[in-house]
Amino acid sequence: MPVFFVCAGLLGLLAAALTVHVGLMRGRKGINLGDGDDAEMQAAVRAHGNLMEFAPITLLMIYMASDFYGFRTVAALSVLLLAARVLHAGGMLGLIPKGRLVGTVASCIILGVASILLAIAGVGLKQY
């Protein structure tokens, strides 16, 4: 489980970094609200927004799966999620070629796998 917490913490730091990036860009471009129809601002806002949409639910699914599946499964899903979200953010900001595509596909697969694992575990639970 320590790997999960390290990855969750690093995802939190990524969220903070993307928040600061958007704030600094707003100041530099003089865009107080929204994206000002600026492509670079749109990409920065969406990089942050997409992380905030995807990471919490996927982390929750992985955390819940930790009650039913071993350390390796949870660690692998956690590390892969961290890598996928870094790739996505880097791709959105133009730093990692193809990062957006690879990060998006990987994130969807990880969320799907964690969800399927939870559903399988749930079928085996007894209701009292």
Instruction: Convert the pLDDT of each residue in 93-118 to its tens digit.
Output: 999 999 999 999 999 999 999 999 99
| Confidence (pLDDT) at 69 | 93
| Confidence (pLDDT) at 99 | 96
| Confidence (pLDDT) at 128 | 73
| Confidence (pLDDT) at 1 | 66
Provide the percentage of residues in the chain whose pLDDT is more than 90: 85
CATH number of the structural domain 2-121? 1.20.120.550
Q: Which of 80, 44, 74, 41 is nearest to 60 (CA)?
A: 74
| Confidence (pLDDT) at 49 | 95
Spans of the chain below 50 pLDDT: none
| Confidence (pLDDT) at 121 | 93
Q: Which amino acid appears at position 100 of this protein?
A: R
- DSSP output for the chain: -HHHHHHHHHHHHHHHHHHHHHHHHHHHHT--SS-TT-HHHHHHHHHHHHHHHHHHHHHHHHHHHTTTS-HHHHHHHHHHHHHHHHHHHHHHTTSSTTHHHHHHHHHHHHHHHHHHHHHHHHHTPPP-
Per-domain residue ranges of the chain: 2-121
| Confidence (pLDDT) at 106 | 98
